[in-house]
Amino acid sequence: MIFYPNAKINIGLNVVAKRPDGYHDLETVFYPINLQDAIEMNVIEDDIPMCGYRLKVTGNTLGGTPEDNLVIKAYKLLKSDYDIPDLSFNVFKHIPTGAGLGGGSADAAFTIKAINDKFRLGLTDADMEKYASILGADCPFFIKNRPVMATGIGNVFHPIQLSLKGMHLLLIKPDVYVSTADAYRNVTPKRPQQSLPELLARPIETWKDTVKNDFEDSVFCKYPEIAAIKDKLYDMGAVYAAMSGSGSSVFGFFKEPVAYVDETFAGYFCRQRELE
């Protein structure tokens, strides 16, 4: 069985308050994009390993142990409650890590969905979201995989009517790691005067001046290379460009396909997609 977890971007991000538990309340829109990993899942028929699973990861890998991989965490979570056989997972990572694109969370959520389908566990979306929430705040988003307004710590989802179908997305990630903890530490929480859904309901041409990512000021100050990418996307004709989450990826929306992308952003991860 092969399945294809997709990435998401954050459109707008407001850090609205610091909580007593040390976390921050935020407002952001999660939007799924058609940049996908590929995961092959098979039942292990012979030479069963002592740990009960096999994992192979290729592509844009981050390293770490199999026990730390969210695919394995999702598998072990379901296996603790259901009679699931030993499984092997071959993961090919197209989605870059440390990019603010939710690649690891997507892999985990899609693994939950795949195991539920293959072994007919009968889990509802709500059931799967409950399991996914154990693995990460944004992980449940990928169960339904539709645009939402996320509040709380990014774990409370509200449906939103937003379609960017036909828009051309250009996604760029430099070889820069941004600490999410540092990004939060350097932001002063404030509640916006208008909600993101209100702003996003307006023509996309207005977003440049109204739809902001609160992390950008401090991150751009520390990593001017990321700021330069956003500026370049606007120079190339983007109707809207922003950093996704706490970075380090930056995306731009264009009305037409963009030429000379690889030459312009040589040495960076760059992908262009027409949104579906």
Using CA atoms, how far apart are residues 56 and 39, in angstroms rounded to an integer?
Answer: 10
Give pLDDT tens digits for 149-171: 999 999 999 999 999 999 999 99
Domain containing residue 50: CATH number: 3.30.230.10
| Residue 152 shares a structural domain with residue 248 | no
Which residue among the candidates 73, 138, 173, 230 is catalytic per the annotation?
A: 138
Task: For residue 84, give Cα distances in angstroms to 14, 51, 66, 92, 109.
Answer: 41, 14, 18, 23, 17
| Residue 226 shares a structural domain with residue 261 | yes
- Choose the final residue of a domain: 107, 125, 159: 159
| Residue 214 shares a structural domain with residue 114 | no
| Residue 92 shares a structural domain with residue 145 | yes
| Residue 99 shares a structural domain with residue 213 | no
Active site residue 8: yes
pLDDT of residue 177: 92
| Residue 18 shares a structural domain with residue 100 | yes
| Residue 143 shares a structural domain with residue 28 | yes
| Residue 101 shares a structural domain with residue 189 | no
pLDDT of residue 224: 97
| Residue 138 shares a structural domain with residue 217 | no
Active site residue 231: no
Give pLDDT tens digits for 216-259: 999 999 999 999 999 999 999 999 999 999 999 999 999 999 99
Task: Read off the tokens for 58.
Answer: 């290729």
- Choose the final residue of a domain: 101, 131, 159: 159
Q: Which domain range does residue 248 map to?
A: 168-274
pLDDT of residue 66: 79
Domain containing residue 239: CATH number: 3.30.70.890
Using CA atoms, how far apart are residues 244 and 99, in angstroms rounded to an integer?
Answer: 8
| Residue 101 shares a structural domain with residue 208 | no
pLDDT of residue 265: 97
Low-confidence ranges of the chain (pLDDT < 70): 62-63
Task: For residue 246, give Cα distances in angstroms to 13, 30, 34, 201.
Answer: 9, 13, 20, 24
pLDDT of residue 266: 96
Task: Read off the tokens for 246.
Answer: 């706490």
| Residue 221 shares a structural domain with residue 126 | no
Total count of domains within the chain: 2
- Choose the final residue of a domain: 111, 129, 159: 159
| Residue 92 shares a structural domain with residue 20 | yes
